[in-house]
Each structure stands twice: as structure tokens, then as C-alpha cells.
A = this chain, B = another copy of it.
Amino acid sequence: MAVRAKSTRVTLRDIADRVGVTPSAVSQALAGNTRIGEDTRRVVRDAAKELGYVPSSAARALRNQHAGTIALIVPTTATHVFGHSYFMLVLEGASSVANQHDVQLLISTNPDNDHGLAAYERVMRSHSADGAILTSAAIDDPTVERLIDSGLPVVMIGNFPHLPTAITVGIDDRAASRSITEHLITTHGRTRLLHISGTLDHQTGVDRRDGFLDALRAHGLDEEGAIVEGDLSESSGTTAISALGRRIGDYDGIVAANDDMAHGAITELKSQGLNVPTHLSVVGFDDFGLARVTTPSITTVHVPAQRLASIASERLFEIMAGNDTGWHRHTIDVHLVLRQSCGCGPL
């Protein structure tokens, strides 16, 4: 039983030989071409089913000049971004849309240091994907621009104001950040606020910081010492607080650029004997899972990552189908999720 089945790879020729026509006729029959007789068509289809014929994706790709594949590109090391459940949601969104279109999903992650090209440049040049969803790109990543200019259909998740031709789906980070900051100010009367920002080489980090500052200015609050730069990791949230030493007493509210840092901050505050939300209100951003399960649960902005990905994917398929008339920038609404860490939810 062992090796038998292995080599027998069914091609058009096998069907052709069995039915007694040419491979080309089989191809046309399977494609439903009406120039092939009704009878032949049926016989061919039966034979194909019986032999378990599946077209060779390589031959098809070569002949038709498209791969039947889209790529999900994450231009950082796997450990960095995969570590955030964000990616899982994106994958889920892209995957389901790809499946609906009967297209394979390729995951492209690490830089391909072997050839000095980014992995996704290879994907693009080798035509192993017909289009790409790009996410988590840094502002200054020069390869992104080349990717877009290459003519490969690309839809990006996030905001890229410096790339005017890019097709993007994102949320209004700045408005959302302002909104959650104002919640702390107007609902909870917090006036001495600290922002733990994300990495500022990503647009998201900049926008969330700016939204925070917008809120401060709108309410005439002090911007002095209001910002500490983090890196989106839980430990950077912890460090942000511990580095403050006793100056933490100057603050009564913390706006973190994501939930991981909010959680890190809360942990550190707790260990210093400070209660959240009694002594300080803390809020996060993202709501990818963590914010719901911690104690206190974290008030945050819900970012619908899966929906971002599925919308991006749908748009990508439109573009690949030649429909270039749709939107180029799409912003989907987000909402606050009020939980315990600001003082809203039941304790």
C-alpha cells in the first residue's frame, strides 16, 4: 500500500487518453466551452471526477499569468507582530475572503536577507501572488512605496497619509484617541494625564499621541511631561510607570496607546499599592482580547481588526478584477468599550 499512489499525478493528458480526445479538448470541455459536444463534455467531466483530476496550479499560473494566490504581508519579524493577537484577527479576515474567492493565502513575513530584498518584494517579482494585503508597515519603510509602484494590486491596513496613491483601510486613530482621553477628562474628571505612546515610526503611534494631545489642548490641560514613549509591549508599560518613580503621584489618569501597555502599567501601579481606577484611571486601545480578561478589565477603543482585513481583502479582489473605481481610503468607525479601569464598569 505504501508507495503506490504517490507518483500518479493526474493531468489533462490522462483524461484525454482515457476519453480518446486531445488534452486541449479536455481543457475546453472542463471549461464549459460550447464548441465541445454535449456528450464529450459529460464523458470528460465524469472521467475527471473519477480520476480525481485537479489542475496543476503551477501550469495554470504560468499559462494564465496569475498565481491564484494573494499574500498577506507583515513587514517585520514574525515575533514582533505575530506576538500581538492583532495578526490573528487580520489573518482570519483575509483568510475567509480568500477562501470565498477560491484563492490561496500566502503569508509573507521576514525580510529575505539572502538577497537583500524584502520577502514581499520577492513575492511580488516572482509573481507568486496576484495581490497583497499589507499591514503593520512602518512610516519610513521604503520598500512599501516600491511595492505600490510595482503595479501589484495592494491594499494596506492602516493609515498612510504620506502615500497618496495607496489604497488603505483604517480607523481614525487620532479621533478615537482624543475621544477616549476626553472620556477620562469629562466623565471622570481626570486632569493630570500621562500618555504612554506606541512606537512613533508607525503612523498609529503618532496619531494616537496626537489625539491625546488634541484632547489636552481642547480642555486647556498641561502638556508638560504628558508623554512617555513605549513600544507596545507589556513590559514597556511597566517600565514607563516604574521609571517615573514617585512622580507618578503627579498623575491621575493614564492613556496607553494599546492594551498591553495599559496592562503593564496597571500591574506596576498595583505593585506600588496604587489602585486602578480609584487612584488613577487607566485606558488602553485595541481590544484584541487582553482588555476583557484582566482585573480590572481595561476600558479601551475597540479596533475591528478582522473587519479591517476582510474589507481590505474584498477591495483587493475588486482591484484584481479590474474595478479601479472604488474608494481609495476607507475609514471604519470604532467605539469605546467602557470597562473597569477608568472607573465606569462594575467592580
Question: Does any Cβ of B come within 8 Å of A250's Cβ?
Answer: no
Q: Which residue of B is nearest A290, CB measured?
A: B293
For the complex, what is the distance from the CA of A58 to the CA of B125, rounded to whole Å? 12
Q: Are the CB atoms of A99 and B95 closer together than 8 Å? A: no
**This chain: copies in complex:** 2
Instruction: Name A106's contact: one of B5, B106, B295 (CB within 8 Å).
Output: B106
B3, B107, B112: the one contacting A107 at CB < 8 Å is B107
* Nearest CB of B to A16, in Å: 18
Given A54-B126, A92-B82, A125-B52, are A99 and B104 also a contact pair (CB < 8 Å)? no
The answer, yes or no, to whether A247 is at the interface (CB within 8 Å) is: no
Whether a CB of chain B sits under 8 angstroms from the CB of A33 is no
**Which of A52, A79, A114, A125 gathers the greatest number of chain B CB atoms within 10 Å?**
A125
Q: Offer 29 A-B interface pairs, CB within 8 angstroms, sorted by A.
A: A1-B149, A3-B151, A6-B151, A10-B125, A54-B126, A55-B126, A57-B126, A58-B59, A61-B61, A62-B62, A69-B106, A78-B95, A78-B96, A82-B88, A85-B88, A85-B289, A88-B88, A91-B91, A95-B109, A99-B109, A99-B110, A99-B112, A99-B119, A104-B108, A106-B107, A107-B107, A294-B294, A294-B295, A295-B295
Nearest 9 pairs between A and B by C-beta?
A: A6-B151, A58-B61, A54-B125, A295-B295, A58-B62, A57-B128, A57-B126, A99-B110, A54-B126
